Chains A and B, each alone.
Chain A
């Protein structure tokens, strides 16, 4: 997802703008103490907030006990947000990280969404730290200034003679000190300062230092509560079968055997799904297996993957909507000495979060309660309200830790299902999808088809670059206002605004929606496709020019010093150019997506029978200011393994309208014995932070493909890797 290119700029402009008061307010907290309310910018909604008046979506409460409680709209799904966000507050407020407690957003969800954008409250697009970097530090500094002012007033001294430290205000000349808890109520009666000075990076005590994650203890002793773990009193457990073909319906159900299963309470038949309600999941699954369901497969009954690919191949023969044009590609191509052409394809992919889709719903006559782990709390509430036919205010959403998001939980189909089922059930019902349902009824990373052509001059350098691609626009479904004039910023991220100096360039996009197959965001989204094809094709150009892939790229980066620096660093650390054994190769990739510069070198071994093993990955990253370097390292390792999984194993295929994959035996995940050594080198920077959760995924796939080319001479233009073409001829 990429809706928020303007968010960080907007945040920066808040620094001293006259409307700053509109994004920060102070009041006495309930039960005493100081409450600061602020608005963290989400995807382009700053303008809406201005027009609408102040709608806070984050709260900092300093209690009379000195405890700092931060309530914010982002959700923890493994990316470390629940640690890095408190670091921003603690840094400016001058408290220990341990003094900050983070709370889930309260059940009053409406303030966290933006109704004008269809409830565009989301944790995604690697944007939590990017969006909060400025406003949260400002809020912390404002609170600190007010606490100092309260102390100065109390002691009748000048604020400048006081100083904040570890949750106290101190007046050195007289040795007086007061805790934030003692000062909070007085501070709440003071005005918010017009202007606050933020710390210089040199003075940071927390930001940039490794911090232990606050959510770890509960995750190692089994006490962390995901939505699949909730047990409201009287809860029943349900599992379900949805139409195996998208768009199909239930024709007939024989549930006599299912009803006879011990522990099965009820069978719920919906238009396009059947659910078994039971005392426990064991009985529900047994009941499900005993159901005899006859389906009306509907219009997509005969759909195969090939139909989707054929349509993409055909549609991309015609021009699409121009996303970027520079110079004169046609003229330059005509004069080029060498021409290179290639087509690329990437498959549908499922998310396969370890926590299968689930949602608990309790529907009463006048209200509805939902227990879920979602990246989009406001949307979950709206979906439940719409499905139940209730006013928004009558729906309470309890959000939970997320057992893997990766974009899957930016959609609320699971909430809709749970409410549909709950409409037929007395009391709360927890709807848990089997792994098979989870994989076969996902919303998938789109299939994309790309056509490239390039012209090289006599020196082998690119003088013309043409890139046309076809595929689904996730944004067009998910956030229609952001699909404009046939384009959206996610679909094209990583294909346009390249770092390389390309004097003549055209990129056009042909929107082709696959019939019946829902598409969705998937870790690194648009770049998961664009970076693979662009960096593979760039490698092809270097090979056509008979030049070293790193040197070739460096020669095109004179106007992108930060990119050049990460590329040079990764080459040095990876030992680029050093000799490797036969059928082992190094491949490189470079990207600027999610506002972060990243270069990777993968070292890959291809066995004689074609099996691919990624042995080592070296990554250099410039993500601006690093908040928690330990999290940066963890996220890059994670994203790289996620990307290798896709490159080696990932594809969802259709036969007769049905998804062919069903569980981890045929939709495989990388395992510990296949995981490469990963080295992460972080470039020191004081620029604003870039996104971190996703960029490692898009960068690794071309690095692996390029390494396979180096090892075998085989250019893989279609993912996942087909090992049969890599067999060494005997």
Chain B
């Protein structure tokens, strides 16, 4: 157990010192600033625009960061052979993978925190105050974090067996498909025969990012049902667990060529 924490902390430390990370956060903050300005132009819906574009910016940049770091773990470490001297110590391979995951998760929470601060600052600036409805924005941000957790776990999974480039591509593709997972499920329901079976399988295997996307709703200050918060949190935990378990299975067997 201690090994897991050690790996996690080291992963966090290594990720946090990577300069590219800061660049991406800066970009996200710039985009939030831009949405603030755009909002000023569209009379009457400044708040909506700020929330829609701001949260979308955080979500997209966060996914880029998640994939970027997630792929950097394992994949880059194997390529650069950094991993040789770690794995030959009394750490089990599965502990290494699990530790990596938690380190990355910590990194993403910290990232989102900084981006969220920028976001709420812009919001307060626009409205000159914070209001109750802003509480739902926190939920939206939490869902975005859950999105990151899932994408990270997937990036880690792909890293355990493919090259950095392949892993990044796979993770992004799954992100996009996951956003449309609802449509995929509807399509599966309307299909017949073999298509239906294959589509259903895919539809439930693909991450359910559609349910985590509440930007439209919170932009209109609509309430979110508590059960949704509960289900989504559990879902993200389960999905990430599945992905990490799969990563462990693959990684335990992999030859470090």
Q: Say whether A associates with B.
A: no
Q: Please give the residue numbers on chain B whose beta carbons come within 8 Å of chain A beta carbons, in ascending order.
A: none
